[in-house]
Amino acid sequence: MSEQQHVMKTGTSTVGITFKGGVVVGADHRATMGHFIANKSVQKLFKIGDNLALTTAGLVGHAQSLSRTLTAEVALFELRRQQPMTVKGAATLTANILSGRPHWVQLLIVGVDADGGHVYSIDSAGGSIPDVYCATGSGSPYMYGVLEDGFRENMSQAEALKLAARALHASGQRDAASGNGMDLAVITPGSGYQQVSQDEIAKLLK
């Protein structure tokens, strides 16, 4: 792993939103080193299982390492148990990894299971907090203004997608460490993890 990956921070805006029947999850693309925009297309949204996603804010090297570890652990669990890992189980696993060896990251574990859609925010020391929606990273104060105004229980998938896109767009307009586009995905019990195309994201922002 290069020295640049260790020092390059993702700055970041990431979001997870529950809706009736699933969750929407997203992240921006920008990575910064201080005031320098080091990369405009960093991956901060990772599929770690058919029903699970991870978003990362923090050091790029730590984030990439965690995504590989979690993907492998989830696959191993499902192979042994012959059933999907619950979202709470994935959050607990992630928290245990971080409490054993802290990483410079702030994470969201987002997904669906038999109990519905869930969003867990996990801090660098392994604290795990469930919520109906959550934003992380330097852009989160701007995102929460949009989320608190627009979120409601049992939203439709279309409403949740539009809210997530609006929140990420707002952070990209106001937070210097966030921006350069976004990734969005939807997770539902029937379809699992589905990435949203960039064309569809452009339509959501119109």
Distances (CA, A) of 162 to 10, 88, 141, 155, 204: 23, 26, 18, 11, 6
18 part of the active site? no
How far apart CA 109 and CA 200 sit, in angstroms, is 24
How far apart CA 141 and CA 70 sit, in angstroms, is 28
Structure tokens at 130: 């469930």
How far apart CA 136 and CA 44 sit, in angstroms, is 11
Given the residues 12, 18, 55, 94, select the one marked as catalytic.
Answer: 12
Closest to 108 in 3D by CA, of 85, 127, 134: 134
User: From edge to edge, which strands make up the β-sheet containing 128-131?
Assistant: 45-49, 52-58, 105-113, 116-122, 128-131
Distances (CA, A) of 120 to 9, 23, 71, 136: 22, 12, 17, 11
Q: Which residues are catalytic?
A: 12
